[in-house]
């Protein structure tokens, strides 16, 4: 069985591409409008005002003329969700119920050995800390604390919670005995350098350890909660070759199936909240690495669900954090609701105090819209018993309601507000309409700056024309464009030019194309791109495929382009000799200058 990128059978890759149409895939994240044979929108990978992100349904690829990102449906999911190639294929296969057969999502044999060692070290370290918690005197106090918080043995095992003892070298010795390079382990975030002298010490000491798993389910980092008093309360692993905190959500590896099934995720503030909710069979909960959500994390969720419920602590800090995360989630195209936790409690406290059923019915099912949440918070900032407070609250509330696009939503909130402030609905509606008119006058269409997310507002502007390319460069791109469309053109170019392209990337793409067609495969740009193993080459192929078609080819046209490609090295040599001749004349060496002139004439004849 032939295998493609990431060691995955080509049959699986092809099935995934067949089941995931590029327009359907991209439209989940980007608002596209049809322009001729293309679909266009604002690029989700960089800020822009003019749509330069282009999708070609015919070739099943995308390309951005602004930032150069391009590829097929698999590549888009990799970029938008921060996945590796195997992770993207596996995720897309699961979504389409494509059997993965014997292939279980292993990376290819080309995985960096240091990465493999670090993954193994994290897995062994998680097992060590878990063992120390459950089976040693060292972990007794940590175990008592966890049980006092309602953590059962089953939960502790499920989330592989552990304990790092209050010693300097427990993990150092453990890793050293197993011949792990300690310098790599320090770079990988498991150890720290000694403050004085040489050597290493354990990074985590006297902390309850929560493994942070990647999408594959393997530990890639830790969050350590201090057992006694001290700061910081939580210590996370530093960013490493395995762990990028902006691209990871705690418990996503376990929660993703429930999130996809329910089309809903619950975003918690703490690891304990996620675990307590899981214990009550609420299994679509995740947590960010800290309260600040990132755009990458929001896009990861968007790839799995339509709605996110923010369930943060009931104190002012938790509610303020929730407010900050609204726009990030909404700009990712998600519907957002907020759970109202009583002040002074966090979700874990609420569950332990009132039980899981009440948490589900009152907190999760009772979550309110972001507008409602903002109005509730706004009301807390005003003394409604005073006339001035009522007026100020009313005016600010109208400004919150006015941007809503749904007339029904606006009416519901305005009627609630009218009852609260004892002002007629018609008066508030008039104020709201005036506010909307003011907004319309100030609106800037088609601007997604500074946010990278696509806001769906488009203008029919032309994509800027790329800079004029040198003749040989344009000829090489034309040849590759024909070769991508037609195996006979590729065969002709192979026989008359081979890999003698002047640009290294073009030569590499040609070599891949010759090999691709040699396997008896038919022209298919999207399929061909999955055989490449280089991000830059994929972008170049996308760019070439988006060229305004070079038209029909014939032998004469191919020969003209091949001649232009072969002429460039000779022209380059001719220009160098011209410089040498001028230098020789300036130095008074006229014999040498005459010899060079003869060589130049020979080159001209060629």
Q: Which of 104, 102, 93, 115 is nearest to 15 (CA)?
A: 93
User: pLDDT at position 257, please?
Assistant: 84
Give the pLDDT band of residue 454 (cuts 50, 70, 90): very low
Question: Is the predicted pLDDT of residue 106 greater than 90, yes or no?
Answer: no
**Mean pLDDT of all residues in 437-452:** 60
pLDDT single digits (tens) 72-101:
999 999 888 777 888 888 888 888 878 776
Give the pLDDT band of residue 362 (cuts 50, 70, 90): very high
Question: Is the predicted pLDDT of residue 120 greater than 50, yes or no?
Answer: yes
Task: Find how far residue 70's CA is from the centre of its chain.
Answer: 14
- Mean pLDDT score of the chain: 85
Q: Are strands 368-369 and 335-338 parallel, antiparallel or unpaired?
A: antiparallel
Question: Is the predicted pLDDT of residue 59 greater than 50, yes or no?
Answer: yes
Give the pLDDT band of residue 460 (cuts 50, 70, 90): very low
Structure letter (DSSP) for residue 309: E
Backbone angles phi, psi at 424, to 5 degrees: -65, 145
Question: Is the predicted pLDDT of residue 403 greater than 50, yes or no?
Answer: yes
Give the pLDDT band of residue 459 (cuts 50, 70, 90): very low
Question: Is the predicted pLDDT of residue 234 greater than 50, yes or no?
Answer: yes
Q: Which of 31-35, 112-116, 168-172, 587-591 has the lowest mean pLDDT?
A: 587-591
Q: Is 34 helix (H, G, I), strand (E, B) or coil?
A: strand
Q: Are strands 285-287 and 264-268 parallel, antiparallel or unpaired?
A: parallel
**583 or 474, greater pLDDT:** 474
Sequence-ordered list of residues with C-beta below 8 angstroms from that of 57, at least 6 positions apart, any chain:
21, 22, 23, 37, 39
Give the pLDDT band of residue 341 (cuts 50, 70, 90): very high
**Mean pLDDT of all residues in 17-36:** 89
HSE-CB for 530 with a 13 A CA cutoff: 30
Q: Is 496 helix (H, G, I), strand (E, B) or coil?
A: helix
Give the pLDDT band of residue 227 (cuts 50, 70, 90): confident
Give the pLDDT band of residue 115 (cuts 50, 70, 90): confident
User: pLDDT at position 195, please?
Assistant: 84
Question: Is the predicted pLDDT of residue 606 greater than 50, yes or no?
Answer: yes
Question: Is the predicted pLDDT of residue 601 greater than 80, yes or no?
Answer: no
User: pLDDT at position 553, please?
Assistant: 81
Sequence-ordered list of residues with C-beta below 8 angstroms from that of 464, at least 6 positions apart, any chain:
50, 52, 65
Give the pLDDT band of residue 548 (cuts 50, 70, 90): low
pLDDT single digits (tens) 483-512:
998 899 999 999 988 888 988 889 999 999
In terms of pTM, does the model score above 0.75? no
- Label residue 290 exposed, middle or buried (CB < 10 Å: 0-12, 13-18, 19+): middle
Give the pLDDT band of residue 465 (cuts 50, 70, 90): very low
Residue 377 structure tokens: 């918070």
Give the pLDDT band of residue 596 (cuts 50, 70, 90): low
- Label residue 445 exposed, middle or buried (CB < 10 Å: 0-12, 13-18, 19+): exposed
User: pLDDT at position 453, please?
Assistant: 41
């Amino acid at each position: 069985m032939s295998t493609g990128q990431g060691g995955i059978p080509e049959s699986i890759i092809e099935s995934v591409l067949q089941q995931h149409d590029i327009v359907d895939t991209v439209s989940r994240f980007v608002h596209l409008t049809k322009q001729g044979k293309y679909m266009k929108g604002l690029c989700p990978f960089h800020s822009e005002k003019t749509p330069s992100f282009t999708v070609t349904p015919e070739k099943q690829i995308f390309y951005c003329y602004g930032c150069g990102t391009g590829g097929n449906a698999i590549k888009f999911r990799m970029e938008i969700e921060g996945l590796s190639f195997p992770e993207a294929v596996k995720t897309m296969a699961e979504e389409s119920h494509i059997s993965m057969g014997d292939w279980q999502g292993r990376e290819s044999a080309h995985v960096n050995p240091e990465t493999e060692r670090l993954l193994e070290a994290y897995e062994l370290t998680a097992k060590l800390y878990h063992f120390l918690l459950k089976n040693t005197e060292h972990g007794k106090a940590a175990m008592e604390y966890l049980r006092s918080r309602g953590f059962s043995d089953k939960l502790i095992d499920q989330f592989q919670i552990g304990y790092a003892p209050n010693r300097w070298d427990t993990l150092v010795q453990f890793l050293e005995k197993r011949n792990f390079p300690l310098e790599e382990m320090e770079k990988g975030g498991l150890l720290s350098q000694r403050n004085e002298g040489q050597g290493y010490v354990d990074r985590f000491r006297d902390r309850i350890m929560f493994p942070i798993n990647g999408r594959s389910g393997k530990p890639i980092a830790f969050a350590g909660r201090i057992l006694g008093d001290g700061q910081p309360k939580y210590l996370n692993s530093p960013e490493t070759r395995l762990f990028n905190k902006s691209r990871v959500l705690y418990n996503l590896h376990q929660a993703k199936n429930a999130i996809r099934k329910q089309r809903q995720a619950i975003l918690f503030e703490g690891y304990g909240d996620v675990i307590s909710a899981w214990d009550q069979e609420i299994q679509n909960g995740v947590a960010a690495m800290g309260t600040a959500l990132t755009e990458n994390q929001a896009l990861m969720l968007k790839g799995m669900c339509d709605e996110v419920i923010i369930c943060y602590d009931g104190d002012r800090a938790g509610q303020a954090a929730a407010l900050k995360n609204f726009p990030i989630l909404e700009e990712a195209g998600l519907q957002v609701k907020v759970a109202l936790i009583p002040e002074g409690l966090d979700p874990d406290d609420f569950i332990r105090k009132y039980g899981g059923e009440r948490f589900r019915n009152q907190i999760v099912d009772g979550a309110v819209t972001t507008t409602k949440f903002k109005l509730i918070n706004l009301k807390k900032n005003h003394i409604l018993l005073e006339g001035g407070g009522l007026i100020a609250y009313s005016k600010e509330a109208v400004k919150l309601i006015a941007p809503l696009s749904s007339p029904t939503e606006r009416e519901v909130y305005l009627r609630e507000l009218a009852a609260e402030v004892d002002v007629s609905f018609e008066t508030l509606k008039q104020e709201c309409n005036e506010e909307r008119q003011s907004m319309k006058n100030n609106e800037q269409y088609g601007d997604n700056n500074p946010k990278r997310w696509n806001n769906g507002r488009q203008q029919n502007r032309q994509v800027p024309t790329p800079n004029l390319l040198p003749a040989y460069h344009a000829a090489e791109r034309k040849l590759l464009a024909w070769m991508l469309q037609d195996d006979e053109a590729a065969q002709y170019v192979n026989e008359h030019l081979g890999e003698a392209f002047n640009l290294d990337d073009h030569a590499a793409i040609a070599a891949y194309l010759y090999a691709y067609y040699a396997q008896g495969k038919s022209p298919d740009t999207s399929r061909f791109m999955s055989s490449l193993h280089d991000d830059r080459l994929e972008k170049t192929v996308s760019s070439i495929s988006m060229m305004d078609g070079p038209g029909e080819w014939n032998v004469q046209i191919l020969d003209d382009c091949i001649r232009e490609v072969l002429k460039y090295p000779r022209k380059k040599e001719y220009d160098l000799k011209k410089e040498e001749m001028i230098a020789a004349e300036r130095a008074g060496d006229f014999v040498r200058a005459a010899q060079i002139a003869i060589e130049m004439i020979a080159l001209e004849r060629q």
